[in-house]
Amino acid sequence: MQSSPTPTPATGDLRYDERLTVPRAWWAIVLLLALSGGLVAFPLGTLPTLGAILVVGLVAGMVTSSYGSARIRVVAGSLVAGDARVPLTALGDAEVLGPEEARAWRSHKADPRAFMLLRSYVPTAVRVKVTDPSDPTPYLYLSTRHPEKLASTLRP
């Protein structure tokens, strides 16, 4: 996680910044997928085999990189989580969720109207109530590796 307690000219009023990168083991899976693509093309010759390794590796790498590029930021009076941007004034209490409680809020306790930025490989999360009466979203569920730090950043 990259966190900057003092603002810099490039980041403005950045109070929290976390990128939900994929685990390293996923990159080994990308490599295995590329090799599998090469094995499929092996009977066609050397050039198709190398082309398949390259194409499958690039596509799998781009998908993995894209999935792991989700960010949670608290900047300029707003919480930016994935595609959502919510002013801090529209947020209520932030609840830190341990692994068991986070799993419950991802499954049987989940509200279908909630905004969820979840990553299954991140066991902890923060649940933030939305207090804006014009917003139908009851809460934000945010997977985070540092739930206490994010929750304390969201508190006034």
- Are 56 and 108 found together in one domain? no
- Are 91 and 52 found together in one domain? no
Contact 59, 13 (CB under 8 A): no
Could you tell me if residue 3 is inside a domain? no
- Are 95 and 133 found together in one domain? yes
User: Environment class of residue 114 by beta-carbon count within 10 Å: exposed (0-12), middle (13-18) or buried (19+)?
Assistant: middle
Give the number of C-alpha atoms closer than 13 A to the C-alpha of residue 4, restricted to the C-beta side.
13
At residue 4, does pLDDT exceed 60? no
Could you tell me if residue 5 is inside a domain? no
- Are 55 and 94 found together in one domain? no
- Are 93 and 147 found together in one domain? yes
- Are 97 and 135 found together in one domain? yes
- Are 92 and 123 found together in one domain? yes
pLDDT of 5-30, one tens digit each? 444 445 568 889 999 999 999 999 99
User: How is residue 5 annotated by DSSP?
Assistant: S
User: How is residue 93 annotated by DSSP?
Assistant: E
Element (H, E) at 52: helix 46-67
At residue 2, does pLDDT exceed 80? no
**pTM, full prediction:** 0.80
Residues paired with residue 87 on neighbouring β-strands, in sequence order: 78
pLDDT of 104-146, one tens digit each? 999 999 999 999 999 989 999 999 999 999 989 999 999 999 9
- Are 138 and 94 found together in one domain? yes
- Are 63 and 99 found together in one domain? no
- Are 96 and 144 found together in one domain? yes
Domain count of the chain? 2
Give the number of C-alpha atoms closer than 13 A to the C-alpha of residue 63, restricted to the C-beta side.
12
Could you tell me if residue 4 is inside a domain? no
Q: For residue 63, give its domain range.
A: 24-67
